[in-house]
Structure 1
Amino acid sequence: MRALVYKSTGSWYVVKDEAGNIYHARMKGVFKIDGITSTNPIAVGDWVEIEMENDLEQTVMITKIEERRNYINRQSPRVKHQHHIVAANLDQSFLIATLREPRTSQGFIDRFLVASEAYHVPSIVVFNKADLYRKKEEELFESYKDMYESIGYKVIRTSTVTGEGMEELKASLHNKISLFSGHSGVGKSSLINVVIPDLDVRTQDVSGWSGKGMHTTTFAEMHEVPGGGKLIDTPGMREFGIVDISKQELSHYFPEMRSLIQECQFNNCMHINEPGCSVKQAVRDGKISEDRFVSYYGILESIEEPVQKYNKK
């Protein structure tokens, strides 16, 4: 039978077959040694083949993972040099950000956008908790909105308190498979509770002593959106580590840089110290945001290239 993975808890999975039956599933051991380098070989959003294992307990064995059309991954929180697949087979990704309580850094936003670009997943940036914005946050929001929309990203401003942006958010989710991601405490669960009222996802206040949100979602989980569509909720994350992207290719995942790369004097231009760099010229001319360029440089510096090993003759 063919089934879709709705929830991953590490060792057990919740899957739904094409007839709508829900099963608890476990993975056949062979997947663990089958050349899959991620910490989770099976991810929410994967299509899998299953075999009945126990009729009474409604448990099944996952025997095969179908080829993914895309996925988003990040550096594993526990194992630095491994990656963790956040979700698979997505139509779009939503990064839920906030400018207050807690504030999402531009670096975090840009890392998420780079990961989405690398795996060809269209991204939307949602600035939540708009009811808390004061003059400073209003100005920052407008600058972010101008910056991201000018390079092709959709920006939505929301508040579950006032209802601002909620209809636009719901419309964007219609009949799509969407990933919801963001820092802990950005109000992701509250947004999901408005979009899917019967779900009642547990929410928690931002912890006062640290200013960071408390983790409320432990594992990724897919939910049905009323009227059509699926939403994958992910655990809140403190950072978003880039994996499987080399320094050489990073600029390809900044849309405003990608269109200029061919105009650089050198084919392997990193857009830092090289002469005849079209990207640096565009920054000087104000055609590329200086903040985005600083973000690019920060990510570039954080990428660890694999160490070359040479055999002694």
Structure 2
Amino acid sequence: MWLLQVLSSCMNGRSNFMKHSYDHDDDRYYEKDNKEQKRNRKALEKKDRSKFKKTDIFQKEKLSKEEKEHLAIGRVISIESEGAILFEEQTQTYFQAAVKGSLKYETSQEKNLLTIGDFVYFEKLPSLQGHIVEVLERQSTLYRADNFSRRKMHLIAANIDQVLITVSCVHPALKTALIDRYIIAAIRGNMQPIVLITKIDLVEKDESIKAIIDEVITTYQNLGYTTIGISTVTLQGIDQLKEVMKGKSSVFSGQSGVGKTSLINLLTGHDFKTQEIIEKTMKGSHTTTKAHLVPLTCSGFCIDTPGIRSFGMWDLKKEEIQQYFKEIEEQKKKCKFSNCTHINEPGCAVMKAVEKGKIAFFRYESYLALMNEENPLEY
């Protein structure tokens, strides 16, 4: 263990650069409603009588074929406080839709009933309005623990192929612990994790910081995760990113201030904001949400999400953690004890691998942080 202590002290300088902890303040996923949005929502709610039916929640099952014939399928491209903006591919039309009462009052472990990327059945109403009556089964989901309700899952996006885990070299500081949590969340949610490290141009002249960034990139690449150094100034990595995103549904997610929206603007050639998208397709309609889904010129979609300050793992058991660290899974077979936690047991092959540099110290730190949390939801 003495060598681990020496390694730890040597890494103190790096810890000032690669921050591993972050605060508990939740990002504001929804902003306050504006007056027009409230009026639209109230108008839709007046037409929706299902909220007065006491048995709706119990009768709610899969819609019959006859019911589906009278409904349309739309994809959620933007979230509002009481509904969503839907895009119907068949007609290339946008609709402002409220959640029908029977669906709204269902109980679930999810904080939000809808998320960006959801496919839904909805009832069309006049003036490009609608009622969402059912959410189709999700093929993949990106989620985290809700910071305010420990038992709730906060859905970030659904039905996507890959998570573009976006962090920066500096401003804000690189958080490898956040990368590792996103990798776990992507794998659990049936998605491919891709690591993007932005603002790479800002460290080119600082050899010490550049060496750390290169080590981080090499580590994740050796583990089999596509990892790209990105600069929107020099355009480094942009062509590679375009190739990775071609024909895929991707979600940009990560820290606040790392340049996710700037990347999307560069990739699409537009200064996309959700409000502008809605204004171009539905005159007089506005939205206050930050998250939105944008089509790509090279085919596929990308989703921009609000930056976060913390990422709590939802429903992750301690005995499951090590399976998401490939290098630990490989070394644990050599441990003296089959139930080794790789924290302080004698004869631990994982700890020896860290001492010898076979396992990156920052990855081992991420593992320890997860294992030592009394409540994984409070990280």
TM-score by length of 2: 0.71
Please tell me whether residue 189 in structure 1 is matched to residue 261 in structure 2: yes
The size of the alignment, in residue pairs, is 290
Q: Deviations over 1:175-234 (max 9, x none)?
A: 0000101111111111111001124349xxxxxxxxxxxxxx953211001120100100
TM-superposed CA distance for 1:305, in Å, is: 7.1
Structure 1 partner of 2:341: 270
CA contact (8 A) 2:323 2:329 kept: yes
Question: What is residue 117 of structure 2 aligned with on the other side?
Answer: 45
C-alpha deviation, 1:268, in angstroms? 4.3
Shift of 1:18: 3.0
Is 1:235 aligned with 2:306?
A: yes
Asked if the contact 2:316–2:376 (Cα under 8 Å) also holds between the matched residues in 1, the reply is no
CA contact (8 A) 2:78 2:289 kept: no
Structure 1, residues 250-291: CA drift from partner, whole Å, max 9, x if none? Answer: 111122223455555555442223455443343344322222
1:13 aligns with 2:84: yes
TM-score of the aligned structures, taking structure 1 as reference length:
0.85
1:45-80 deviation per Cα after TM superposition (whole angstroms, max 9, x unaligned)? 11111112x21x211111111111111111224434
Letter in 1 for 2:316: I
Kindly indicate whether residue 212 of structure 2 is the aligned counterpart of residue 106 of structure 1.
no
Q: Which residue of 2 aligns with 1:28?
A: 100
Give 1 or 2 for the bigger CA radius of gyration.
2
8 Å CA contact 1:176, 1:230 repeated in 2: yes
Aligned partner of 1:176 in structure 2 is 248
Q: Tell me the alpha carbon deviations over residues 147-181 of structure 1, each in whole angstroms, 9 at most, x when there is no partner.
A: 11111111111111111111111111110000101
Q: CA RMSD in A?
A: 2.2
Percent of pairs identical after alignment?
Answer: 32
Is 2:128 the partner of 1:58? yes
Distance in 2, matches of 1:117 and 1:261, equals 20
Equivalent residue for 2:235? Answer: 163
Ranges in structure 1 where 5+ consecutive residues have no aligned partner: 203-216, 307-313
What SS does the corresponding residue of 1:64 show, helix, strand or coil?
strand
Which of 345, 366, 370 aligns to 1:299? It is: 370
Higher helix share: 2
Q: Which of these residues, 194, 198, 209, is aligned with residue 137 of structure 1?
A: 209
Letter in 1 for 2:95: Y
- Kept in 2: contact 1:246–1:303 (CA 8 A): no
Work out which structure has the larger RCO, using CA pairs closer than 8 Å and 6 or more positions apart in sequence: 2
Question: Structure 2, unaligned stretches of length 5 or more?
Answer: 1-71, 275-287
